[in-house]
Amino acid sequence: MEISTRAFCILLVLVLNAVKITLSVEDGLLYLDYYKETCPLAEEIVSRNVEIAVLKDPRMAASLLRLHFHDCFVMGCDASVLLDNYVDIISEKQAGPNLNSLRGFKVIDEIKYILEEACPLTVSCADILAMVARDAVALRGGPSWKVWLGRKDSLKASFDGANQFIPAPNSSLETLIANFNQQGLDVEDLVALSGSHTLGKARCLSFRQRVYDINVEEKHDKYRRYRTFRRILRSICPESGRDEAIAPLDFVTPAKFDNQYYINILEGNGLLGSDNVLVNEDHAGEIKKLVWAFASNQELFFRSFARSVVKMGNINVLTGVDGEIRKNCRFVNP
């Protein structure tokens, strides 16, 4: 019996979809539309609740994106960052880079509660973090991207890993490159993902060294072109005290996801030391070219950011029989 080309193509798609569903469980891979059959409204539920959270608190967009980043850099994208202290688990929330800094946990709790009502023990907390990062960026005018899903949640946390692998705000360029390489990310990923600092705020504790380091000032500001910016930062952040005072990472368009971050650091107006090393270090040639490219072309930045955040979202994921689907993102299942 002959079969038309169109009918053959339809049959082939159906077969590939069936294979895809099988592979996602057995071979530990992530796939698009992972919850299409098991929880078809999952992405809509996440998106709607992220929108509500960001409308209530615009700063929450940056906080949700940051949760995904801090999760993936410690043991992989497994929602370990969401675990509270319990029995032998020491929460990553208590680690230096996260303590009194990470936000958005209640938003994740609310989303998880609704998803558990709709589809019990189906959508992982790790996948929720990946989806909220995408939706938060899009809501602030940034790019959107397809989120690959099927992650499982970790059964443990790594307090030491959070202290070791999350980049510090005063990291040198060499440290940043090594840190990202350890996660399988290259210099383009480093520069693109640093662009997430177009949103959000940082504590005085994170940028004080950058503001009062006289050696840096003399080396990179010999023409004193940036005195006004430094004076503003010093008024917010004195040499001692007021550690929790905050300043926007991007003073120009603080609530918009755009390429202004790169323009800022080229002008010497990056808030964090780890921002400015992308252009200030003597050996930052290739990296500085990328900064110039993203500063000149927002669409190029958006494409690179979306590609890099998807790549980051695949770091050491747990799938198949590894990990679990937590009922409560703060605790492993009984």
74 annotated to bind ligand: yes
197 annotated to bind ligand: yes
Q: Which of 135, 158, 196, 146 is nearest to 72 (CA)?
A: 158
Distances from the Cα of 143 to the Cα of 45, 139, 265, 302, 309, angstroms = 20, 9, 21, 6, 11
Q: What's at 12, amino acid-wise?
A: L
CB 138 within 8 A of CB 51: no
Q: Which of 315, 291, 272, 271 is nearest to 179 (CA)?
A: 315
80 annotated to bind ligand: yes
Query: Could you write out the DSSP letters of every residue in 200-215?
Result: -EEEHHHHHHHHH-HH
Catalytic annotation on 283? no
319 annotated to bind ligand: no
122 annotated to bind ligand: no
58 annotated to bind ligand: no
How far is the C-alpha of 30 from the C-alpha of 22, rounded, in Å?
Answer: 11
92 annotated to bind ligand: yes
CB 307 within 8 A of CB 192: yes
198 annotated to bind ligand: yes
CB 143 within 8 A of CB 303: yes
Of 68, 70, 220, 283, which residue is the catalytic one? 70
87 annotated to bind ligand: no
Q: Which residues carry a binding-site annotation for Ca(2+)?
A: 71, 74, 76, 78, 80, 92, 198, 250, 253, 258
Annotated binding-site ranges: 71, 74, 76, 78, 80, 92, 167, 197-198, 250, 253, 258
The catalytic residue positions are 70
